[in-house]
Amino acid sequence: MDIATNMLAFFQRIGWLEILVILLAILLLFGGRKLPELARGLARGIKSFRKEMKSVGDEMRDAMSAEDDAYDSTEDSQNDDSAKNA
């Protein structure tokens, strides 16, 4: 089993009571005034992560497209050479 499957199995076993206990612990640790600030920071981090993941995906698609274009042009030039030799 890979780590993603193990994490998914772990989160499936967490119930509402456990989530409530975790949220109460966070409230006690950071206090009510810090929670909105923490939530904003978390949201910014998630947004930045998604933006970077999209950027990486776009770069990979561009690289694959460029590689496909290079392969197609090489294949076309080989076909042209074959037609000239025939």
Q: Tens of pLDDT along 61-79?
A: 988 888 777 776 766 565 5
Query: What percentage of the chain reaches a pLDDT higher than 90?
Result: 22
Q: Please give the residue range of the domain that contains residue 30.
A: 3-85
Q: What is the pLDDT of residue 1?
A: 53
Least confidently predicted of 26-30, 48-52, 74-78: 74-78
What integer is the mean pLDDT of 9-17?
A: 78
Q: What is the pLDDT of residue 78?
A: 59
What integer is the mean pLDDT of 16-20?
A: 87
Q: How far, CA to CA in Å, does 25 sit from each of 29, 33, 36, 67?
A: 6, 15, 15, 51
Specify the number of domains making up the chain. Answer: 1
Q: Where are the alpha helices (DSSP H) in the chain?
A: 3-12, 16-85
